[in-house]
Each structure stands twice: as structure tokens, then as C-alpha cells.
Structure 1
């Protein structure tokens, strides 16, 4: 999770607006997602619609969610699951997908939409 937090910090420092960033986790929930859910599901999902801040969700997200930038947090998983996670995360990203965490199982041959998967 620390790598995702660092990626978000770098994106914000580079001028990205907080509402442009979606953090998706493929594994356990991000602590910030758990914090936001403590205020209730209604308030949590309203934040997605408002798009005023970074939004944290599980990759299994079933609600429509697209943001300019998606930060995908991969936890230890086999290669096939990691590739599927990257493919799903790409459907939520408008212009940039940042993959962090357990990326060791991904190779340069894991190509999505004609682009190598970032490690």
C-alpha cells in the first residue's frame, strides 16, 4: 500500500487533481477505503460521484468508475490473476494506469491495448 500512497503523492505533486485519481486494490482494501466506509456506504459512494478527492475502492468495483488516472495495487497473485487485474483496471483509466505492488509476475509480454504493462 505504501507504493500506492507514494504514487498518489507524486501524481498530486505533478499537478493532477485529487478527483482525477482512482486507487484500486486487488487484494485487501486500502486503509483509507476502510476509513471512508466507516462513515457509511451512502457517504462513501457519494464521494465517487462527487469526484472531489482521490477515491479508493476494491478492483471488484461494480459501479461505473472512470478517472483520468488509476493506481492499481497488486498483492501477491499468480501471473494470470495479475494480468486480469491489469486488464480490468485499464477499463477504469482514461489516460494513465500506474501499477504497483507485487508486479514481479508481470512481463514485457503482458501487453494491454498495444502498450507494455508498466512495472
Structure 2
């Protein structure tokens, strides 16, 4: 038998994406871009009573000048305070011992020896008797040095120099000697006057002479 030519076979290929013509594509719709929000509407204020107007400033009044007070007589200044007075009761025989005890207490409390003057209205202190035996010049020179306790007779009180503390021993029966020595001792004491003796006699003298 004669051979017939074979017809070419057509094989189906895998289907791919079908191309769509450009004219048939639909353009995507653009999304709206967010923008600034509109401002909130202004709310009308609440009605209320009107505020009172500030008070008008007053013009300052003229201040009347102060009238000077009539000048009067000048007031005298108060007298300077004197020394503190301390009274130690003692008999005429024990007044010198009481003065020595008062001196020891002062020195033990820290008072410098050169700050103290001791006066006697009767018999002289043994130290004064001893120093006067070398002459008055050397005796008074020790007072001028001012580095130790100085003892003097009440009759010499006017010549004694001023010291912060003065101790007076009323160790005699002579009332006139005490009346002379105590007022002078008061003027020689800077801050403290210690008097050892009969309280009645001392108060009578200081009350009349100071």
C-alpha cells in the first residue's frame, strides 16, 4: 500500500498569561491625601454681668509739714553710776582679817593683784608698815608700778591711785577716820568697793558722805 504522508501534529503548549491590551486596563483610583483638619468653630462666650471699671486714682493730698515742737530746757544727763558696794559685817578687831579673806577670794577668782587697793582706817597693814620702813619714795613707787596689791593708811587715801577694786577695813574706833576714808575710797574704786566693819557705822558714813 502506498504510504501516506503524515500530517504534522500540533501539540498544545502550556497556557501563559493572556496579554490584555493597554486600552482595556482600568487606572486605579487615587486615595485622598490627609490634610489639616478644619479649625473648630468658635463657641460664643457665656453671657455674664459686665466687670466693674477700676476705680479712678486719687491725686495725693498735700501732706502738712510737721510742726517743730517748742524747744524746752535741756535735760541734764544722768550721773555716771558709781562702783558696786559690798558690805562684810565685822568687828573692829576682825575687820582686817575679813578684808584679807575678801582679797583671797578676789585673787582666787582671777582678779589681778594690781587691780586691788586695800585701805585701813585704824592700824596700818603689816605690809605697809614694812614697806614704809624703807622710805616713802620706794613705798609709793610700788603703787605706781601697779603689779601687786597696794596697802595704804586711810589718812593717805587721797594720795592713792584709782584701782578697779578697793577694800576698806574699818579696824579702828575712830569714827572721824572712817568718815574721812570711806568717801575717798568710794571715789578711788572703779567697779567694786568692799567695806569690812560695823554695818551701822558704815551705812551712816556712806549715806551721808556719798
Task: Please give the TM-score of this superposition, normalised by the length of structure 1.
Answer: 0.79
| Higher normalized contact order (CA 8 Å, seq sep 6+, divided by chain length) | 1
Q: For this pair of structures, how many residues does the alignment match?
A: 112
Structural mapping, 1:1-119, within 5 Å: 1-61=96-156, 62-75=158-171, 76-78=173-175, 82-107=178-203, 110-111=206-207
Report the structure, 1 or 2, having the larger helix content.
1
CA RMSD of aligned residues (A): 2.3
Equivalence for 1:117? none
Distance 2:196 2:109 in 1: 18
Does structure 2 conserve the Cα–Cα contact (< 8 Å) formed by 1:33 and 1:57? yes
Once the two structures are superposed, residues 16-75 of structure 1 have per-residue CA deviations (whole angstroms, 9 ceiling, x without a partner) of: 100000001111111111112223222111111000000000122242511100000112
Cα distance 1:59–1:81, how it changes in 2: closer, same or farther (>3 A)?
A: closer
C-alpha deviations, 1:59-114, integer Å up to 9, x for none? 22242511100000112344x7545432121011111100013344234894476x
Asked if the contact 2:162/2:189 (under 8 Å) is kept, the reply is yes
Given the two structures, how large is their TM-score scaled by the length of structure 2?
0.48
Question: 2 CA distance for matches of 1:108 and 1:37?
Answer: 32
What is the alpha-carbon distance in structure 2 between the residues aligned to residue 24 and residue 86 of structure 1?
Answer: 9
- Which structure has the bigger radius of gyration? 2
Identify the structure with the greater strand proportion.
Answer: 1
Ranges in structure 1 where 5+ consecutive residues have no aligned partner:
114-119
Q: Which runs of 5+ in 2 are unaligned?
A: 1-95
In structure 2, relative to structure 1, the CA distance for the partners of 1:82 and 1:103 (3 Å cut) is: farther
